[in-house]
Chains A and B, each alone.
Chain A
């Protein structure tokens, strides 16, 4: 299996621009998670989906962030407009069952200038 795939691996953008991060989970996994990692705040869960339906988005920082999962093999995390404080590494993870082992993608390093 190819594992969780994320794109792009690196993104540099200017403040105010829209940013879209993409994730392809492992085939057959029913759960998909988006995390953000920073030095200051560590690893934070932003949102997770079960069978393409958002279950808990309480970790989404504010309305500038949105996430979708149009089908079982694709999810996006969008930031509009982006701000310098959004600079972080964003990880996508998937799991076969709730509470099961989560498999992480390599992450997208976002820099907002």
Chain B
């Protein structure tokens, strides 16, 4: 079945550092890919998405490119802020309509 693998966490960075969170997937067909973010005490919210190969999703300074050849959707940000501290989930969906999530990774940004 479909699956999403995220790098192990947690990740701790200093403010203004460069961020990369790795995500790879296994799926038949052509899934849509998502990054969701969960701030403390809240539900998940969509950060960005890409629906086909080579698409780049972007939002709030975060970017991720749908790489079919490497089955990856790595999340990047050039300069993180304390307010980016949260849990980040990579996910995919296909015709089944279900979102398949990775385990999530906790990011802590210190001032």
Contact A43 B93 (CB under 8 A): no
Binary interface encoding of chain B residues 13-50 relative to chain A, with 1 for a CB under 8 A from any of its CBs, else 0? 00000000000000000001010100001111110010
User: Taking CB as reference atom, which chain A residue is nearest B34?
Assistant: A101
Contacts of B81 in A (CB 8 A): none
Contact A43 B104 (CB under 8 A): yes
Q: Is the interface of A mostly helix, strand, loop or mixed?
A: strand
Q: How far apart sit A107 and B95, CA to CA, in the bound complex (Å)?
A: 26
Binary interface encoding of chain B residues 74-104 relative to chain A, with 1 for a CB under 8 A from any of its CBs, else 0? 0000000000000001000111111101011
Are A45 and B99 also in contact (CB < 8 A) when A101-B46, A104-B45 are?
A: yes
Interface residues of A in 35-52 (CB under 8 A from B): 42-43, 45, 48, 50
Contact A104 B44 (CB under 8 A): yes
User: Taking CB as reference atom, which chain A residue is nearest B41?
Assistant: A106
Q: What is the size, in residues, of chain A's interface with B at 8 Å between Cβ atoms?
A: 21
Contacts of B98 in A (CB 8 A): 33, 45, 48, 56
Contacts of A4 in B (CB 8 A): 43
Binary interface encoding of chain A residues 1-39 relative to chain B, with 1 for a CB under 8 A from any of its CBs, else 0? 000100000000000000000000000000101000000
Contacts of A101 in B (CB 8 A): 34, 46, 49
Q: A-contacting residues of B (Cβ < 8 Å)?
A: 32, 34, 36, 41-46, 49, 89, 93-99, 101, 103-104
Q: B-contacting residues of A (Cβ < 8 Å)?
A: 4, 31, 33, 42-43, 45, 48, 50, 55-56, 91, 93, 98-99, 101-107
Sort A-B residue pairs by CB-CB distance and give the 9 closest, nearest first. A104-B43, A98-B97, A104-B44, A42-B103, A43-B101, A99-B93, A106-B43, A101-B46, A107-B43
